[in-house]
Amino acid sequence: MVQWRCGLNAKLRVLVLAIPLTLTACEWFTDFKRQPSIWTWEPLKDTLTPSRGNPQMSVPTTGTAMAGFQVSYGAFPATIDSLSAIRNPTPASDSSLANGRKYFQINCAVCHGERAMGDGRAVAFGMPGINLTTDLTKGRTDGYIFGMIRNGRGLMPPYNRIEEMDRWDVVNYVRALQGIGGKTVATGPLAPPGVTGDKVPGATRMGPNVPAPFYNPRSLLSGDQAAAAPTPTPTSGAQVPAVTSPSDTSARAHADSVKTRTDSTRARRIR
């Protein structure tokens, strides 16, 4: 009996000591239930600029010659043919040919040879020699060669590791090896093995270098106001100033009311 009472007293003392801790304002383990959070596109305070628009510096601004939803990346003859009409946007300048030579020697010469005549080193190991200087290949369009690099076909795998702007340089270099364009280009490796620097591909250039700015939601403007409001022009590294109008006030009021209802809903959930 004495032992039982001692045990009961010990439990009561622990309980009495724990009560003040439960009544304090400090919460140690909230399971992240109470923290500031913002819904997607929820305006902040009195601004119409969304708090989460496009992640700056992450949205391409130049697009692509042919998106995957337009023409698939399938390695099929009809797919490659559908890329034939793409126009080569890169002039065959000296810098383009030099860059094309670098990527050709790194990726293509092992099979096609240093002069694209189908005598690469892989031929000695059973790889068929594909000559790119024949009349058949000369008759292909730039877009077709671009598509072969993009998709691959048959024994050739896709070479998407060559970024799009560099693929056009490879196309220009192949054209020069074919004798098209009237320019003579150097052949062979750019440097002995192990040399780096500008003799190997550098950092990726696929990421954008111009942020896509936010625009004032023109859908809030109506009638003549929308027609009279100037169209924002994207600028590098800067956001476009918002177009002010009398209807902005009502739009802000509507956004504030939405936020108020949202906050009250969250409060009820917490309680």
Q: Would you state the pLDDT for residue 202?
A: 84
- pTM, to two decimals: 0.58
- For residue 7, the number of C-alpha atoms closer than 13 Å in the C-beta half-sphere is 4
Q: Would you state the pLDDT for residue 65?
A: 86
Q: Would you state the pLDDT for residue 10?
A: 66
The Cα 212–Cα 237 span in angstroms is: 9
Query: Could you list the mean pLDDT of each consecutive 10-residue stretch along the chain, which spans 271 residues?
Result: 55 64 57 65 60 51 78 92 94 95 96 96 93 95 96 92 93 96 91 90 69 50 49 44 45 55 52 50
**Proportion of the chain in helix, strand, coil states, percent, rounded to 5:** 40, 0, 55
| 8 Å CB contact between 237 and 57 | no
Size of the chain in residues: 271
CA 139 → CA 103, 132, 147, 167, 180, distances in Å? 22, 11, 15, 18, 11
